Amino acid sequence: MSSGEVAGRGGGPARVRIRVEGIVQGVGFRPYVHALARRLALSGWVGNDGRGVFIEAEGAAEDVARFQRELPGQAPPLAVIDRISVTAIPVLGERRERGFGIVPSRDGGRRTLVSPDVATCADCLAELFDASCRRHRHPFVNCTNCGPRFTIVRDVPYDRAATTMASFAMCGACAAEYGDPGDRRFHAQPVCCPRCGPVLRLLDGRGREVAGDPVAGAVAVLRSGGVVAVKGLGGYHLAVDATDAGAVAALRSRKRREDKPFAVVVANVAAARRLCVVGGEAERLLVSPARPIVVLPRHAEAAPGSPVVAEGVA
């Protein structure tokens, strides 16, 4: 990372053009730059293009210098900055420009990096289970700090129009969040709610829609020993009740997976501990934003969980 400071000498106004490269789209970087610039009373703009994020910032020289210093250090947690380049350019002056804004994305270049999908954050999980929230039990809850990225993007710059969410027009409430710099969903591209976003459906084995609550219906299928193909963002998960040896064996034979272990989904780390030995490093991985599959030693006395899930594995 390089961030040569070009402003900061003398007390007059200064203006810089800054380019930031790395994973800087879809991670809340523009809102972050916007907030930082406003805090330092700078004018100018920030936007996405095919190479990353471009910024022009103007204000008192010491404030512009501080902006450059603080820019990499307080970047959003999901951002990965590879490079920052700064060029001093002529000042525009207050009569030519007022305030700091987020400008439309520009085309050109196709080299920027898009963030991977990120597990639902604690704030969104709280909303999911809050009966007073309009996203109560909304399966597609997300915000600037979490949710799908790579699997919904069709093109860069990363904007809603370039994602699979383009066909879902935001309702008034979602649009207000999207446009509010103080909101957790400011410029979160996949923002949606039960009124305006995708919906769940449950189809039977012949592709006919099943009436009733699709989640309750899917749970009933799992409880009765059936297989549910859960269409996720990046493909299908084939799911069975891991405590039902017959269901696991049926999935094994249909998938022709005779001995490869299956991943077991648990609600949280406490639930994982009832099945496996979870050390500090494993716990850190399990709750990290990537939420990877983690291979763990099984408890000798772990009662739940069919042995067929991971046969022959210690």
Report in angstroms how near the CB of residue 176 gets to Zn ion at its nearest.
9
Nearer to Zn ion, 71 or 174 (CB): 174
Report in angstroms how near the CB of residue 268 gets to Zn ion at its nearest.
17
Report in angstroms how near the CB of residue 253 gets to Zn ion at its nearest.
39
- Cβ(257)–Cβ(311) below 8 Å: no
Nearer to Zn ion, 170 or 239 (CB): 170
Nearer to Zn ion, 45 or 178 (CB): 178
Nearer to Zn ion, 92 or 128 (CB): 128
Report in angstroms how near the CB of residue 190 gets to Zn ion at its nearest.
10
Distance from C-alpha of 230 to C-alpha of 232, rounded to nearest angstrom: 6
Q: Strands of 149-225 (E only): list them.
A: none
SS3 for 102?
strand
SS3 for 67?
helix
Distance from C-alpha of 102 to C-alpha of 174, rounded to nearest angstrom: 18
Report in angstroms how near the CB of residue 214 gets to Zn ion at its nearest.
19
Nearer to Zn ion, 196 or 294 (CB): 196
Note the Cα 81 to chain centre separation in Å: 17
Distance from C-alpha of 162 to C-alpha of 159, rounded to nearest angstrom: 5
In DSSP terms, 280 is beta-bridged to: none
Residue ranges binding Zn ion (CB under 5 A) = 121, 124, 143, 145-146, 171, 174, 193, 195-196
Q: Which two tokens stand for residue 274?
A: 């009832």
Report in angstroms how near the CB of residue 264 gets to Zn ion at its nearest.
25
Nearer to Zn ion, 60 or 171 (CB): 171
- Cβ(227)–Cβ(247) below 8 Å: yes
- Cβ(125)–Cβ(67) below 8 Å: no
SS3 for 80?
strand
